[in-house]
Amino acid sequence: MKLFHNFVLFLLENCCMRLIHSILFSLIFISISSAQDDIVQLKNVSDTILNPKRTLKISDPLNGIKTMQQLFPGRLYKKSSYNTFISWKCNTCKPTTYTDVNGVEEDPLFPYAEGVATRLDTTINYTDSKGNQFKMLVFNHSVYDADGSQTGRFSGGLLGLAKFAKNGSVWEMKSYQPAIAAFGAFSHIPALKLVEIGEDQYAFSLIHANGGAGGPYNAYLYLIVGFNGKYQTLMELGDYRLSNNAEGSTEWSSTYKVVNDGKKKFFRDFTITTTGFYKKAKGTEEDFEVEMPKELSEMAKTKKQFNFTIEKRLSFDGKWYTIVGKPVVKYYNIK
C-alpha cells in the first residue's frame, strides 16, 4: 500500500512539473511573439512606387487609407487611433536629395536607407468654378522606426501629394509627387491650407515653426504651388510668427490675404499683416532677447516696449514670390 501511495505521489509530481514547464514555455513563447509583433516590419517594394507618371483609378467613394496602400504597398500598422502608417523599403530605388527647411542637418536622401514610414496626414477636398471635384491626398514620410514613432526636433516631415479628379463614379489620379520637401518638427508636417491664388488656380500654404527646447519658436510661411509640371515651394517668408516665449515677453503673429483686384488672372499678390508686441528682455533664462524683424530693429535699440503692425506685399516674379515696395510699419504704446 505504501508503495502504491508513493507511486501515485510520483505521478502527481511529474504531471505538475510538466504542467508548470508547459505553462512557463507558453508564457515565454507568447511574450516573445508579442515582442516581435510590436516591432514594425519593413516590406520591400518595387521602384515603381516613386514613378510620377503612375496611373490610378479609384471607384467612388475614395478611401484615403486604402488608396495610400495602393500607392505605397508596404505593411500597414495601426499603433493607435492617430498613428496609422505603412512601413516600406525600396532596395532598387535611386535615392535623391530633398530640402528640409530646418536646415540643421545635410539635406537627406529619399527613400531612406533605413526604410520609410508613410502616413496619410489629411485629405483636402475642393471644387472649382465649373463644378469639378478634386481630392488632394497629403502624405507624411518619416524615417523607419521599430516602434512606429516620429522623432528628431529638427527633422521635418517629408511632404508628398497625390491629386485625384472625379470623373463620373471614378476618381482618377491626375498628379502624383511622393516627395516634395520637409517641413515641421519631429518628422511631422504642419497642416496644409488650400489657397486660391488665381482663377481655378489652387495652392497650399503651411506655417513651419521650430526652435530650441524651452525657447521661442520662429515661424515661416510657405506656399506650395503646381508650377512647371510639379509641386514646389514658391514662397518662403520669415518672421511670420513668434511663439512659445515667456508670458508677457515679445511676440507676434501674422495673417495673409490674396489680392484679387482684377489685375492678375493667375499668381495673384499676397498681403501679409503682422501684429505684435515688443518688450526689452531681462536677460534671464526664461526671458532672453530675440532677433527682431529688420523693420523693427532700430526702434528696438532705443525703446523698452511697444506694439506694432507691419504690412507687406508679395508678388510673383515668374520664379518666386518676393516683397515689393517698402513695408508699412506703425507703432503704438511706445515706452
pLDDT, residue 247, reads: 81
Residue 276 identity = G
Report pLDDT for 190: 97
d(CA 294, CA 297): 5
SS3 (DSSP) at 34: helix
What percent of the chain clears pLDDT 90, i.e. is strictly above it?
A: 75
Cell numbers placing 303: 525703446
Residue 20: which residues within 8 A CB-CB, separation 6 or more? none
The grid coordinates of residue 81 equal: 487611433
Are 46 and 91 in contact by the 8 Å Cβ rule? The answer is no
Please determine, for residue 35, whether its predicted confidence score (pLDDT) is greater than 60: no
Q: Would the pLDDT of 106 be above 80?
A: no
Residues 188, 192, 197, CA angle at the centre, nearest 5°?
150
Beta-bridge partner residues of 217 = 243
Write the pLDDT tens digit of every residue in 274-307.
999 999 887 666 666 788 999 999 999 999 999 9
3-state secondary structure of 289: coil
pLDDT of residue 38: 72
Give residue 31's Cα distance to chain centre. Answer: 35
**pLDDT tens-digit series, residues 122-175:** 999 999 999 999 999 999 999 999 998 888 889 999 999 999 999 999 999 999
Residue found under cell 510657405: 222
The neighbour count for residue 126, using CB atoms within 10 Å, is 13
Alpha helices in the chain (DSSP H): 2-38, 64-71, 297-302
CA distances from 10 to 36, 132, 296 (A): 39, 82, 91
pLDDT at 82: 85
- Which SS3 state, helix, strand or coil, does residue 269 take? coil
Range of lowest pLDDT (6-15, 73-82, 244-253): 6-15
DSSP letter at 295 equals: G
Residue type, 220: Y
Output the pLDDT for position 236.
98
Average pLDDT, rounded, for the chain: 88
Q: Which residue has the cell 491664388?
A: 197
Instruction: Say how far apart CA 182 and CA 101 lie, in whole Å.
Output: 6
Is it the case that residue 28 has pLDDT exceeding 60? no
DSSP 247: T
- Residue 126, beta-bridge partner list: 134
Helices and strands (H and E) in the chain: how many = 3, 20
Between 37-51, 62-76, 88-102, 296-310, the lowest mean confidence (pLDDT) is in: 37-51
Region 102-130: what's the mean pLDDT? 93
Q: Return the number of other C-beta atoms located less than 10 Å from residue 305's C-beta.
A: 14
pLDDT band with cut points at 50, 70 and 90 for residue 8: very low
Give dist(CA 259, CA 325) in Å, integer: 15
Bigger pLDDT: 29 or 99? 99
Cα gap 88→41, rounded to integer Å: 8
